[in-house]
Amino acid sequence: MYLAHVMASLCSCRRISSSAGSIQRCFSVNIRRKYTTPGVLGGKPTVPFLRTAAAIPNITVLFFRGDRLTRFRQFSIISGLNDVIHTPDSRVQVSRVMSPDDANPLGFIHGGIVLQMIGEAGYISATKYCNSQESRSQGNKACFAALARAERTDFLQSMFVGEFAKVNAEVTYTSKHSLEVQVTVFAENVMKGTQRLTNRAHLWYVPVSVDDGKVVEVPAMTYSSPEMEEQGRLRYETQKSQRRDDIGQTRNAVENEYFHNFGIETAEPYTVPYSQSSLTHFILSADCTLQGYVRGGTTMKLMDEVAGLVAIKHCMSPAVTASVDAINFHKKIKQAGLINLFARLTYTSDKSIEVQVLVDVQYISLTRRQIYKERACDAYFTFVSLSQKDFSPQKIPPLKLLTEVEVERFKSGHERYKAKKALRNEEKQRKA
């Protein structure tokens, strides 16, 4: 017979402290049958829970056969005065040690590696939420989460070889057909006993049915307060409006935006043609989910790689990713296609450099002998140049503009630079 055990600290009726606040007293409530196995105390086990006005973050129920752990269930509890509300637990943590393969020659971890881990953690969290027990009980189909938009991501601190990367992801808001996942990345040095926050990210996913590939509804989320729900709704409306504007600009863009005819070999240093770069990647099964679509983290990693090439070629020195503007994923990328990435300089200041990355996908039809091409996504990456002596930021060589189109892109980049600078100043004042 199975025996359900709740974590000892949560079963205790003594006065204890938790992240939810100080616990006043205990009360008992019947766990739903779907979280138990018939035969445990007659199928209606009474388990002591902690009563508090705040949210108890997580309960883990362990199932044993004798002394052997057979399985466990993990779910969130939000407790009120007279009831307990169950919400799907979407929290995940992805951890790995940073190796020399993940870094540049100076030991700095590539920004693309971090973006890939952020995308993987977000995918697991969103897919886990959409396929929860509550979702299945409502008759929802099995689905997977497709990345639709990655909000601006700042690289607050660098990560180095030998550190442990801990990527935490959790669903924080849901609409009818999309959900927001907030991701935080920490770098832990176990030798020194230190831990640093390196990245924050906000990702938006849409659930796609495994059976027919159509977008399905997202299970409703229960919020701890009306304020949290309202803040999430404002973030949803903001990203929806920005995404609509970005898609319109992309559709109006000229499709054939690749190398000039005179080539890189004859281009003058510190010009756009001199540093522009491209990368072609054949999509293999290792790049895709089980459903045959490229993971968003894989695409972001490739974008960071080609953008980094541009920054290094222009600065002629090591460069690291400072931030990534919002990335809109216009099309899902399927297996067996070709990803063509094109990157070029758009703006330089004294301390930073902006690189635009365009991502197209090509599908080759062997029967019709045709190539189908479409724009998958695009974004702006910001880099800083580092001195090889002490790794401190150094001055960026100014960009030489040759055409009117480059001048217009430079002006647009300057406006984005001022907007980001104003946003950073607002955040500093708010923290102060």
Q: Do 340 and 329 belong to one domain?
A: yes
pLDDT digits (tens, 9 = 90+) for 309-330: 999 999 999 999 999 999 999 9
Specify whether the CB–CB gap between 48 and 27 falls below 8 A: yes
> End of a domain among 252, 285, 309?
252
Q: Do 29 and 49 belong to one domain?
A: yes
Q: Is the pLDDT of residue 84 over 80?
A: no
Give the lowest-confidence range in 73-82, 169-178, 223-232, 283-292: 73-82
Q: Is the pLDDT of residue 94 over 80?
A: yes
Q: Is the pLDDT of residue 157 over 70?
A: yes
CB atoms within 10 A of CB 246: 20
Report pTM.
Answer: 0.75
How would DSSP label each residue in 278-293?
A: EEEEE--GGGB-TTSB
Distance CA(39)–CA(315), nearest Å, equals 69
Q: Categorise residue 368: left if φ over 0, alpha if ψ from -120 to 50, beta otherwise.
A: alpha
Q: Do 111 and 28 belong to one domain?
A: no
Distance CA(216)–CA(210), nearest Å, equals 10
Q: Do 82 and 117 belong to one domain?
A: no
Q: Categorise residue 397: left if φ over 0, alpha if ψ from -120 to 50, beta otherwise.
A: beta
Give the lowest-confidence range in 21-30, 253-262, 296-305, 400-409: 21-30
Q: Is the pLDDT of residue 41 over 70?
A: no
pLDDT band at residue 249 using 50, 70 and 90 as cut-offs: low
Q: Do 11 and 102 belong to one domain?
A: no
Q: Do 123 and 142 belong to one domain?
A: yes
* More confident site: 190 or 75: 190
User: Looking at residues 45-73, what average pLDDT do you find?
Assistant: 43
Give the total residue count for the chain.
432
Q: Is the pLDDT of residue 4 over 50?
A: no
Q: Do 82 and 93 belong to one domain?
A: no
Q: Is the pLDDT of residue 294 over 60?
A: yes
From residue 182, how far is each of 95, 202, 350, 425 by CA, in Å? 16, 5, 32, 22
Active site residues: 104, 304
Query: What residues have CB less than 8 Å from 122, skipping those under 6 apart?
Result: 145, 147, 169, 181, 183, 201, 203, 205, 296, 297
Q: Do 243 and 274 belong to one domain?
A: no
User: What's the pLDDT score for residue 72?
Assistant: 46
Q: Is the pLDDT of residue 428 over 80?
A: yes
> End of a domain among 56, 87, 118?
87
How would DSSP label each residue in 63-111?
A: EEETTEEEEEEEEEEEE-SS-EEEE----EEEEEE--GGGB-TTSBBPH
**How many domains are there within the chain?**
3
pLDDT band at residue 116 using 50, 70 and 90 as cut-offs: very high
**Token pair of 164 as six digits:** 């442990």
Specify whether the CB–CB gap between 76 and 59 falls below 8 A: yes
Nearest alpha-carbon partner for 122 in 183, 71, 79: 183
CB atoms within 10 A of CB 275: 24
User: Looking at residues 251-276, what average pLDDT do you find?
Assistant: 65
User: Looking at residues 364-376, what average pLDDT do you find?
Assistant: 80
**What is the share, in percent, of the chain residues with pLDDT greater than 90?**
57
Give the lowest-confidence range in 178-192, 220-234, 235-249, 414-428: 235-249
Residue 297's domain spans which residues? 261-432
> End of a domain among 51, 69, 87?
87
User: Looking at residues 346-350, what average pLDDT do you find?
Assistant: 96
For residue 119, what is the domain's CATH number?
3.10.129.10
Q: Do 268 and 222 belong to one domain?
A: no
Q: Do 7 and 28 belong to one domain?
A: yes
| Mean pLDDT of the chain, nearest integer | 79
Largest CA distance in the chain: 82
Q: Do 227 and 267 belong to one domain?
A: no
Q: Do 82 and 227 belong to one domain?
A: no
Give the lowest-confidence range in 86-100, 110-124, 291-305, 316-330: 86-100
From residue 164, how far is each of 8, 197, 198, 326 by CA, in Å? 29, 12, 12, 26
Q: Is the pLDDT of residue 340 over 90?
A: yes
